[in-house]
Amino acid sequence: MDKIIIRGGKRLSGTVTISGAKNAALTLLPCALLTDEPLTLRNLPRLADIDTFQHLMNQFGVSTAIAGSRPEDFGRVMTLEAARITSNVAPYDLVRKMRASILVLGPMLARMGEAKVSLPGGCAIGVRPIDLHLKALEALGATIEITAGYVRAIAPDGGLSGGRYSFPFVSVGATENAIMAAVAARGKSTLHNAAREPEITDLCNLLMAMGAEIEGIGTSDLVIHGVPRLHGATYRVMSDRIEAGSYACAAAITGGEAFLANARVEEMEATVQALRDAGILIEPRSGGLQIAAEGPIQPVNLSTAPFPGFATDMQAQLMAMLCCSEGTSVLTETIFENRYMHVPELNRMGAQIETSGRTAIVKGVPKLSGADVMATDLRASMSLVIAGLAAQGETNIHRLYHLDRGYERLEEKLSLLGAEVERVGGD
Ligand code: UD1
């Protein structure tokens, strides 16, 4: 299996181009199911998860074509056309590779009147049930059956109808599924306590471009007037705010600086604030964000929270950076119950982190040391990369499967910033 070798201690400096957002792309792609006309998505990141989603769409009979991008470009353009859907089943083999496959449930149900999706099951960061997805669809009139590891959603004769659903707590995926179903339901739907993540705004903006009627975009109360027909569109996927935050932590831990091209401060204010609290300078500039570490990293106390709070998807990377701070930081993970899988690995590199339930106490150390490490989820893997950039000696990151799911051309981008990093076959 491949591994990434990082020889730490190089100060990062330069420009990194932030790719299209994985999590936005994964909710924009299933929108192709809502229309028989072509949907063209630009700035799609080149990632394993996007390839898996493409296979899933092909398996429904959706045609996909990739055009107009040279290998040296970041991102791709994909046109999806669901003129005729030949299957409404998302099979176990694809869903187990990628939980986000559940996002086909709402649009497939709306278009075909029925959808069957394998239950995603647990994952490395926790149990992750889908009960809210199902309750929101029930509020639109769907009947839900769970048999043999599959969830089957069936619309009444005449299709889904508008409904009202109040999420008991914020769920990004359940909000996305509910929106994609409601835009094509008959009548008015209201969603209360909806997630407000920028990826949801991106989804709503695409759906509006396809002819949907949505009020309250960017707020936790959405009013959706179902339309009888959605049409094709061409749309650019937003920039990846988590990738941007990850590179900010990477540059900062090396005492370096970086221009994050395409990053937008409005979409990552909590991350920007956390980095400023850590003493990092951040300035919005035309076309991106300039970050610079000046002086030692300061400790930070924070809790993860739904947007606009500090993203759980940034917790591991910020923690890695704080391992090298001048003091003790306290981080609390409120979204997922098991999201400290990176802690033992960071400690093997010389970090001093103790966890107790949902809280992690990070005592800054003067130096980390390179080691062989591996992680069980995407952001945890990136935290090990960040630690490796500052560590003395060589860090070997194993099990690259997760990084390839979520970071487009990681080694190339880090090398352009001056890191000593290479991918080798081995193990
Ligand atoms: C999305 C993101 C993921 C991010 C997370 C939180 C994608 C593809 N993934 O995941 O990267 O970490 O948002 O920002 O966009 N929950 C339930 N029942 C449900 C749904 C969720 O109990 O039906 C719980 C989850 O277990 C979790 C919490 O709600 O504890 C939030 O999860 P949710 O916002 O739904 O995360 P995802 O959409 O799966």
Distance, CA 377 to ligand 1 centroid (Å)?
A: 14
132 C-beta closer than 6 A to ligand 1: yes
130 C-beta closer than 6 A to ligand 1: yes
Of the pLDDT bands very low, low, confident and very high (cuts 50, 70, 90), residue 242 is very high
Which residue, judged by its Cα, is nearest atom 25 of ligand 1?
128
List, for residues 356-408, the tens digit of each pLDDT value: 999 999 999 999 999 999 988 899 999 999 999 999 999 999 989 889 999 99
315 C-beta closer than 6 A to ligand 1: no
Which residue, judged by its Cα, is nearest atom 9 of ligand 1?
23
Average pLDDT (122-149) is 87
List, for residues 150-186, the tens digit of each pLDDT value: 999 999 998 999 999 999 999 999 999 999 999 999 9
pLDDT on residue 120 = 81
Q: Say which CATH architecture domain 3-19+239-424 belongs to.
A: Alpha-beta prism (3.65)
| Mean of per-residue pLDDT scores for the chain | 95
**In sequence order, which residues have a C-beta less than 8 Å from that of residue 148 and are 6 or more positions away?**
none
Domain boundaries, the chain: 3-19+239-424, 22-236
pLDDT on residue 1 = 76
CA angle 343, 52, 199 (to 5 degrees): 65
**Cα–Cα distance measured from residue 295 to residue 49, given in angstroms and rounded to the nearest whole number:** 38
pLDDT on residue 21 = 98
Distance, CA 250 to ligand 1 centroid (Å)?
A: 25
Global model pTM greater than 0.75: yes
- Report helix, strand and coil shares of the chain as percent, to nearest 5: 35, 30, 40
pLDDT on residue 338 = 83
**In sequence order, which residues have a C-beta less than 8 Å from that of residue 129 and are 6 or more positions away?**
none
Best substitution site from 99, 101, 242, 335 to test ligand 1's pocket, by max atoms within 8 Å of Cβ? 335
Nearest to residue 240, comparing CAs of 78, 387, 46?
46
**Cα–Cα distance measured from residue 162 to residue 88, given in angstroms and rounded to the nearest whole number:** 22
Active site residue 31: no
Query: Domain 22-236 has what CATH class?
Result: alpha beta
335 C-beta closer than 6 A to ligand 1: yes
- Enter the tokens of residue 282: 């951040």
Burial class (CB in 10 A: 0-12, 13-18, 19+), 14: middle
List, for residues 107-118, the tens digit of each pLDDT value: 999 999 999 999
133 C-beta closer than 6 A to ligand 1: yes
CATH topology match: 3-19+239-424 vs 22-236: yes
> Which of the two residues, 377 and 237, has the higher pLDDT score?
237
